[in-house]
């Protein structure tokens, strides 16, 4: 009788780490909970900041969830999912980046026991999807539509949404001032587009936070300038503005250029030709009757002095984004040639142009632009680190106001909506039987992480306040949430703690999908770095020590 030995097949590269099963899911959940531990202290008005030091030694002080996760060098593949949903929330909505990570981690934390007890991950996933769909449907029932509001009421609503977004930021003490800046900035944009990239943000260290300026137009830092610049006028009323992508400078010959001449007069002709070209350009610009000349390319000392003698202001090497925003604000177009300048179509204008000294910098400012679909915020602060955090805070508020303007449905903030959803899901779970009931109850419990963490970060008794909120919501007070000003609970709709409902919907969807993704992965294969000459990625199957079959 002959026996055939099964050959040993090695599919993966030697040294490849593989782990699978229930233990792998629990390990991935624990990695996500480590991220939650890092972020949870930053949530809410009393959330603490985190000091991050990069590999280059640069420090960042922030409590913005997306920024923290971006700066952290997260290597665990499951934990990276939280980094991705945080960035997604930041790009799509702009706020709620910390909340979405806390929610996802808490959902996983409450599902961890089910996994350890042997429940199928597919059963849990179905329950989570149903819970999320129920919660989103309830949000849409609870949201308040502000579509019918007058212009004044709409402005007040946007201010309140901006204030709510700033409550957890470094600028909360100056919230009223910055909220007005943010709302005014967003309202200058085209309502059909609302492109936040058209809000220019410039930073000048020094001065108080409330020295920050809103410019209904464009402002940019004085560019590199040549001799003769100081002789140019620095203020114009209703100027004509010419924007170019043309170099106005005498260029030296290239090192490898070769010009063969037989007479000295021929050399003079070459020099005269070069001067003739640039003087022709300058005279055509002057003939266009413009007062201000801007160019993406250099404007040399000859052109600078030429314009100064004729009462024209010029600036070369203007940044692309600044010049693009100037065109949107003042009109006209960016020309690549000065031939046949159309005075009506190619020149822009504004009410006033001036060069101002702001702190230690000089700024060129275009005010009162007739086609203004753009604006500029000039931020001031004690140090560049503070200004950087102000910029991150304003970005969140700008995105929230933009979303509120597009989707005029709001819900009460301060944990009110989470407590109402939690109560709704618990009540719903009592109507069904089986495993799904447990999953929905765990999802309801997970939603309470937001108000609970708000309490803990404020140093309050979370058990007492959450019990109060449960009591109010059980009695139909659906807008009651945390009032951290009075260390109690209050009707946050009346207190004007508002948030666009789209923020909560997006956060719930992203958090649930992230949790489902982690729960659906029960095997991880991690390749070693490629050895010299090895197969890339260790993905090519190969055999090792395969004995010849016996009994042949």
CATH architecture of 151-216+378-407: 2-Layer Sandwich (3.30)
pLDDT of residue 344: 82
Percent of the chain with pLDDT over 90: 23
Q: Closest Cα to residue 154, out of 325, 514, 401, 342?
A: 401
pLDDT in tens, 216-236: 888 888 888 787 788 888 899
For range 308-322, the mean pLDDT:
90
Question: What pLDDT band is residue 256 in, cutting at 50, 70 and 90?
Answer: low
Nearest to 99 by CA among 48, 56, 36: 36
Q: Give the Cα-Cα-Cα angle 538, 540, 542 (nearest 5 degrees).
A: 105
Specify the pLDDT at position 110: 92
| Structure confidence by residue, pLDDT tens digits, 370-379 | 777 888 899 9
Q: Stretch 267-282: mean pLDDT, rounded?
A: 81
542 falls in which pLDDT band (50, 70, 90)? Answer: very low
pLDDT band at residue 532 using 50, 70 and 90 as cut-offs: very low
Closest C-alpha among 517, 520, 526 to residue 82: 517
Please check whether residue 334 is in contact with residue 245, taking contact to mean a CB–CB distance below 8 angstroms.
yes
Q: Using pLDDT thresholds of 50, 70 and 90, give the confidence band for residue 132.
A: very high
Give 156's contacts (C-beta < 8 A, 6+ positions apart).
Answer: none
**C-alpha–C-alpha distance, residues 205 and 224, integer Å:** 20
Output 86 or 172, whichever has higher pLDDT: 86
CB count, 10 Å around CB of 47? 21
Chain centroid to CA 61: 16
334: CB partners within 8 A, 6+ apart: 243, 244, 245, 296, 323, 324, 327
Question: Which of 16-25, 160-169, 508-517, 519-528 is predicted with the least confidence, judged by mean pLDDT?
Answer: 16-25
* Per-residue pLDDT tens digits for 145-173: 877 677 787 888 888 888 888 877 778 78
Whether residue 85 is predicted with pLDDT greater than 70 in this model: the reply is yes
Architecture category of domain 17-145+412-525 in CATH? Orthogonal Bundle (1.10)
Instruction: Indicate the pairing of strand 480-483 with strand 523-526.
Output: unpaired
Structure tokens belonging to residue 343: 């005075």
Residues with active-site annotation:
64, 97-98, 396
Angle subtended at Cα 260 by Cα 259 and Cα 262, rounded to the nearest 5 degrees: 140
CA distances from 418 to 142, 165, 411 (A): 12, 17, 10
CA 288 from chain centre, in angstroms, equals 42
Tell me the pLDDT tens digit for each residue of 407-419. 778 888 888 999 9
Where do the structural domains in the chain lie, given as residue ranges? 17-145+412-525, 151-216+378-407, 218-371
CB 32 within 8 A of CB 26: no
Predicted pLDDT of residue 107: 94
Contact 440, 428 (CB under 8 A): yes
152 backbone dihedrals φ, ψ, rounded to 5°: -65, -45
- pLDDT of 348 above 70: yes
Parallel, antiparallel or unpaired: strands 240-244 and 334-335: parallel
Residue 480 confidence class, pLDDT cut points 50, 70, 90? very high
The helix (H) or strand (E) run that includes residue 220 is: strand 217-221
Give Rg (Cα) of the chain. 31
**Band of the pLDDT at 543, cuts 50, 70, 90?**
very low
CA 198/CA 218 separation, integer angstroms = 10
3-state helix, strand, coil in the chain (%, to 5): 50, 15, 35
Q: Do residues 437 and 426 lie in contact, with contact meaning Cβ atoms separated by under 8 Å? A: no
**Is the model's pLDDT at 4 over the cut of 60?**
no
* pLDDT winner (highest mean) among 142-151, 320-329, 531-540: 320-329
Please say whether the dihedral angle defined by the alpha carbons of residues 403, 405, 408 and 412, taken in this order, is positive or negative. Answer: positive
Neighbour-count burial of 35, counting CB atoms closer than 10 A to its CB (0-12 exposed, 13-18 middle, 19+ buried): buried
- pTM for the full model? 0.72
- Of 418, 377, 404, 402, whose CA–CA distance to 43 is shortest? 418
Question: What value does the mean pLDDT of the chain take?
Answer: 83
CB 53 within 8 A of CB 59: yes
Q: Is pLDDT at 471 greater than 90 in this prediction? A: yes
Residue 479 near residue 69 (C-beta atoms within 8 A): no
Instruction: Identify the pLDDT of residue 546.
Output: 36
* Pairing, β 313-315 against β 292-295: parallel
Assign 549 a pLDDT band (cuts: 50, 70, 90): very low
Q: For 218-371, CATH number?
A: 3.50.7.10
Q: What is the mean pLDDT of residues 63-89?
A: 85
Residue 136 has pLDDT above 90, yes or no: yes
Q: What is the DSSP string of 135-155?
A: HHHHHHHH-EE-TT--HHHHH
């Amino acid at each position: 009788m002959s026996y055939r030995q099964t050959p040993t097949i090695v599919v993966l590269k030697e040294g490849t780490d593989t782990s699978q099963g229930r233990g792998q899911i629990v390990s991935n959940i624990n990695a996500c909970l480590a991220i939650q531990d890092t972020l949870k202290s930053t949530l809410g008005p009393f959330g603490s900041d985190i000091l991050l030091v990069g590999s280059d030694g640069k420090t960042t002080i922030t409590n913005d969830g997306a920024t923290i996760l971006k700066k952290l060098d997260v290597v665990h593949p499951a934990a990276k999912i939280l980094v991705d949903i945080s960035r997604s929330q930041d790009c799509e909505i702009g706020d709620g980046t910390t909340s979405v990570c806390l929610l996802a981690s808490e959902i996983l934390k409450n599902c961890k026991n089910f996994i350890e007890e042997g429940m199928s991950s597919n059963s849990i996933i179905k329950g989570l999807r149903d819970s999320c769909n129920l919660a989103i449907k309830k949000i849409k029932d609870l949201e308040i539509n502000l579509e019918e509001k007058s212009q004044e009421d709409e402005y007040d609503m946007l201010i309140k949404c901006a204030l709510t977004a700033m409550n957890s930021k470094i600028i909360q003490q100056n919230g009223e001032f910055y909220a007005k800046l943010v709302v005014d900035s967003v309202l200058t944009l085209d309502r059909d587009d609302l492109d936040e990239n058209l809000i220019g943000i410039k930073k000048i260290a020094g001065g108080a936070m409330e020295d920050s300026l809103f410019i209904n137009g464009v402002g940019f830092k004085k560019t590199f300038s040549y001799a003769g610049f100081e002789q140019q006028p620095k203020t114009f009323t209703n100027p004509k503005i010419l924007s170019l992508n043309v170099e106005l400078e005498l260029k030296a010959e290239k090192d490898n250029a070769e010009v063969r001449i037989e007479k000295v007069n021929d050399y003079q002709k070459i020099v005269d030709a070069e001067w003739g070209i640039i003087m022709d350009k300058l005279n055509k610009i002057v003939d266009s009757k413009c007062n201000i000349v801007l160019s993406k390319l250099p404007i040399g000392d000859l052109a600078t002095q030429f314009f100064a003698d004729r009462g024209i202001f010029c600036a070369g090497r203007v940044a692309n984004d600044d010049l693009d925003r100037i065109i949107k604000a003042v009109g006209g177009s960016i020309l690549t040639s000065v031939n046949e300048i159309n005075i009506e179509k190619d020149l822009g204008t504004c009410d006033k142009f001036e060069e101002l000294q702001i702190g230690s910098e000089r700024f060129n400012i275009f005010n009162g632009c007739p086609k203004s679909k753009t604006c500029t915020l000039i931020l001031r602060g004690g140090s560049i680190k503070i200004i950087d955090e102000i910029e991150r805070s304003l970005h969140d508020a700008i995105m929230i106001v933009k979303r509120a303007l597009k989707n005029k449905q709001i819900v009460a903030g301060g944990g009110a909506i989470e407590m109402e959803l939690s109560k709704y899901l618990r009540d719903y779970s009592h109507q069904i039987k089986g495993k799904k009931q447990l999953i929905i109850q765990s999802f309801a419990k997970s939603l309470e992480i937001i108000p609970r963490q708000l309490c803990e970060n404020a140093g309050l008794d979370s058990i007492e306040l959450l019990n109060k909120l449960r009591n109010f919501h059980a009695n139909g007070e659906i807008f009651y949430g945390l009032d951290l000003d009075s260390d109690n609970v209050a009707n946050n709709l009346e207190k004007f703690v508002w948030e666009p409902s789209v923020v909560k919907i997006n956060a719930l969807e992203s958090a649930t999908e992230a949790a489902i993704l982690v729960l659906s992965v029960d095997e991880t294969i991690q390749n070693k770095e490629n050895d010299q000459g090895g197969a890339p990625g260790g993905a090519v199957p190969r055999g090792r020590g395969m004995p010849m079959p016996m009994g042949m």
